[in-house]
């Protein structure tokens, strides 16, 4: 999953928005030494990513890309999911997307001042430059993918992969996302309930 989906699932489960995004940057075991709500978000991020990568709809979307693009299928589909979430936002959130992003960016910037130095400037730039709003346009999505492609060990125009999907495969993948996303919303709720119950038990046993 990419930034918008993780922010939405964090808000949906009332967990830390910043913590959920830190899951892309903070590796290693928990606890991390950060605040407990950040650790909770990192934990949820990891669970969501594992669920997503193993899901048949996600795997089918990856398989829509032919060589040489399929090796980057995980990145491509995660970004496409943010694109489709933008387009179908009203199905999944009562708040208008621009308002949601404005509030989310405000929280990320407020939390950034409380994080150890070096963690991570990408989130601050994303909030200041409103990266996510561009994901809703195919052109903006392609530009974002090209930006990712430039940071690969062997740089390439990753956005070109979008042009290899004909309208039939594009629509099939979009319908797959619409079947998948309610499942990951329910999964996130259940996982976080389980996590918090375990934390409460650990706390009461001290």
- Structural domain range at position 96: 3-204
For residue 66, the 8-state DSSP code is P
- The residue assigned the tokens 């399929």 is 70
Contact present, 135 and 79 (Cβ < 8 Å): yes
Instruction: Give the relative orientation of helices 167-204 and 56-63 as an angle to the nearest 10 degrees.
Output: 140
pLDDT at 206: 61
- The residue assigned the tokens 């530009």 is 143
- The residue assigned the tokens 């992003």 is 101
- pLDDT tens digits for the chain (206 residues)? 899 999 999 999 999 999 999 998 898 999 999 999 999 999 999 999 999 999 999 999 999 999 999 999 999 999 999 999 999 999 999 999 999 999 999 999 999 888 877 667 888 889 999 999 999 999 999 999 999 999 998 999 999 999 999 999 999 999 999 999 999 999 999 999 999 998 877 766 66
pTM: 0.94
Looking at the structure of the chain, the number of domains it has is: 1
């Amino acid at each position: 999953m990419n930034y918008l989906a993780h922010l939405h699932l964090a808000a949906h489960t009332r967990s830390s928005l910043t913590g959920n995004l830190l899951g892309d940057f903070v590796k290693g075991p928990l606890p991390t030494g950060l605040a407990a709500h950040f650790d909770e978000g990192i934990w949820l991020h990891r669970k969501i990513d594992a669920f997503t990568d193993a899901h048949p709809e996600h795997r089918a979307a990856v398989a829509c890309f032919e060589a040489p693009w399929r090796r980057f299928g995980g990145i491509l589909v995660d970004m496409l999911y943010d694109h489709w979430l933008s387009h179908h936002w009203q199905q999944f959130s009562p708040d208008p997307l621009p308002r949601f992003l404005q509030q989310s960016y405000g929280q990320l910037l407020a939390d950034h001042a409380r994080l150890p130095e070096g963690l991570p400037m990408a989130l601050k730039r994303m909030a200041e430059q409103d990266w996510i709003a561009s994901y809703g346009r195919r052109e903006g999505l392609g530009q974002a993918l090209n930006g990712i492609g430039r940071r690969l060990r062997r740089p390439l125009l990753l956005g070109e992969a979008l042009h290899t999907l004909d309208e039939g495969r594009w629509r099939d993948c979009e319908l797959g996302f619409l079947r998948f996303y309610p499942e990951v919303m329910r999964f996130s709720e259940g996982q976080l309930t389980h996590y918090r119950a375990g934390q409460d038990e650990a706390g009461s046993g001290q």
